[in-house]
Amino acid sequence: MPKIEQSADCQTVITTFEMSPGTCQDLLDELTEAYEQFISKQKGFIAAGLHVNDAQTRIANYSQWERREDFLAMLRSDEMRRRNRRINELCRSFEPVMYDVAATFG
């Protein structure tokens, strides 16, 4: 389960994907399969969530990792590089960005 709190000792990564409504479900299927079969089994993985906007033109992916190096190792693996080539075909762009939790509410 993700921990969204300033004191959480983990690396947060938010990735946004831009696509057309016609490829949204295909991209969501690819991302779901990547998490179920590969990403969630990698060293340091904590949790993730996929979010789709109403227009089906954007997907936001929130993930947490024990360490920044764990996320980078997963991203650089041959398996993820292969998967990212397919993901890139289904969207206009995607960008993973690492964040630190600055504040939480609620």
Does 105 map to a domain? no
CATH number of residue 26's parent domain? 3.30.70.100
Does 6 map to a domain? no
Query: Please, what is the average pLDDT of the chain?
Result: 94
pLDDT number for residue 4? 74
For the chain, the domain total comes to 1
pLDDT by residue (tens digit) across 13-57?
A: 999 999 999 999 999 999 999 999 999 999 999 999 999 999 999
Q: What angle do CA 70, 75, 80 make, to 5 degrees?
A: 125
pTM recorded for the entire structure: 0.91
Flag whether pLDDT at 3 surpasses 80.
no
Does 60 map to a domain? yes
Does 106 map to a domain? no
pLDDT band at 104 (very low <50, low <70, confident <90, very high): confident
Per DSSP, what are the bridge partners of residue 51? 60
Does 85 map to a domain? yes
- 9 or 84: whose pLDDT is higher? 84
Does 86 map to a domain? yes
Cα 3 off chain centre by: 15
Does 3 map to a domain? no
Do residues 21 and 55 touch, judged by C-beta distance below 8 A? yes
